[in-house]
Amino acid sequence: MSDTSNLGDIVRALYETISGPAGQERDWDRMRSLYFPGARLIRTSMSLDGKPRAHVMDVEQYIQDTSDYFRQNSFYEAEVARRVESFGNIAHVFSAYEARHKPDDAEPFKRGINSIQLFNDGSRWWLLNVLWDNEREDNPMPEQLLRG
């Protein structure tokens, strides 16, 4: 089955490509195949002085930015809720996630939301932008999304 034939498959592949045990090289070619040329991955965070920041990367920059972390740390991220809006050949997926060090960990060490923009070129779906923010004490997960 293709990773890009429908929205569910491409979102599943997005999570699978970044998940795995410490030291396991991720399938970067598979990841590259999901993204439209020029696509962006945008990690948000808070600076030490409390101001929001956005770190914008292309796919190659993301691979460089995360490879050392994945070599040293097990990381399993899974979708726990999703809201989809689509029109014509575009879609927006609001995807809530949990991250664990082991797939069977009782509690996640991190939760957040991926805001994913996608484009269908008539034969497949492409990831255009993935923008994410993590849950924090002052930024809790929206219960209405988690309840479905």
Euclidean distance between CA atoms 101 and 105, whole angstroms: 7
Q: Is the pLDDT of residue 141 over 70?
A: yes
* Tokens describing residue 82: 């999703």
Kindly list the domain boundaries of the chain, sorted by start residue: 7-146
Quote the percentage of the chain above a pLDDT of 90.
95
Give tens-digit pLDDT for 89-123.
999 999 999 999 999 999 999 999 999 999 999 99
**Among the four given CATH numbers 3.10.450.50, 3.40.980.10, 3.30.930.10, 3.40.50.2000, the one describing domain 7-146:** 3.10.450.50
List of residues 6+ apart from 108 with CB closer than 8 A:
98, 99, 100
Euclidean distance between CA atoms 6 and 86, whole angstroms: 12
